[in-house]
Chains A and B, each alone.
Chain A
Amino acid sequence: EVQLVESGGGLVKPGGSLKLSCAASGFTFSSYAMSWVRQSPEKRLEWVAEISSGGSYTYYPDTVTGRFPISRDNAKNTLYLEMSSLRSEDTAMYYCARRGGSSLGYAMDYWGQGTSVTVSS
């Protein structure tokens, strides 16, 4: 059974930093690209970062470029998101999601339960 379990969220002050982790199990982690997606309190979904299966390529939207580097440790089956210079608008539930293969049109076929990040003074 595919499982993605996020951790590392919490309350942080503006300008602060946080590192999220996502532990994967039930599939060959090193074979899949992975993403982080956040959901605002208003329930809007926003893609935050993507990393290729081997970790060589990373992609970001302009809203977080440079602030939220994504990384992975395939030996530990773990995905990371290092968040810095946090702003109030970064407050959200953060999900890790597996990007399915070409047979699924690269849709996000599995999502974790999420970890909550609140940026407030």
Chain B
Amino acid sequence: QIVLTQSPAIMSASLGEEITLTCSASSSVSYMHWYQQKSGTSPKLLIYSTSNLASGVPSRFSGSGSGTFYSLTISSVEAEDAADYYCHQWSSYPCTFGAGTKLELK
């Protein structure tokens, strides 16, 4: 199965800062999805097919990548962005998730 490695495990950011989270795949995948999970809630689709924002997602979020390397960028971090972020591939079965990056606000 394809292993997804996310880094960093924990990201500490200041309000207004631009940050980038990464997801590396053990084999090439066609695209990557990203989910946001706030404390005590279920995961929410954030970005689909590498670079498309899900409905209602603010434009400060963006995604890019190809092959084995993908990234999620927040252009100007806001307090409400504190959450866990997971990448997810379904290019091949079984679909797999990364271990997540925890975004903390300084």
Point out residues on A near B: beta carbons under 8 Å: 43-47, 59-62, 95, 100, 104-114
Contacts and interface: CB of A to CB of B under 8 A. Distances in A.
B97 interface: yes
A106 B99 CA distance: 20
A107 B88 contact: yes
A45 B33 contact: no
Contact of A45 (B49, B90, B94, B97): B97
B45 A109 contact: yes
24 contacts: A43-B84, A44-B99, A45-B97, A47-B95, A47-B97, A59-B93, A61-B1, A61-B93, A62-B94, A95-B43, A100-B45, A104-B49, A105-B49, A107-B48, A107-B49, A107-B54, A107-B88, A108-B43, A108-B88, A109-B54, A110-B45, A113-B41, A113-B42, A114-B42
Contacts of A61: 1, 93-94
B45 A108 contact: yes
Interface of B: 1, 31, 33, 35, 41-45, 48-49, 52, 54, 84, 86, 88, 90, 93-97, 99-100
B94 A47 contact: yes
Contacts, number: 61
A46 B95 CA distance: 8
Contacts of B86: 45
A43 B95 CA distance: 17
Taking chain B's interface residues, is the majority helix, strand, or loop, or is none over half, making it mixed? loop
Contacts of A47: 94-97
A104 B93 CA distance: 18
A111 B90 contact: no
Given A47-B96, A109-B48, 14 more contacts: A43-B100, A45-B97, A45-B100, A59-B94, A60-B94, A95-B42, A104-B45, A105-B48, A106-B90, A108-B35, A109-B45, A109-B54, A111-B43, A111-B44
Contacts of A109: 45, 48, 54
- Considering residues B42, B84, B96, which has the most beta carbons from chain A within 10 angstroms of its beta carbon? B42
Given A43-B84, A105-B33, A105-B48, A111 B42 contact: yes
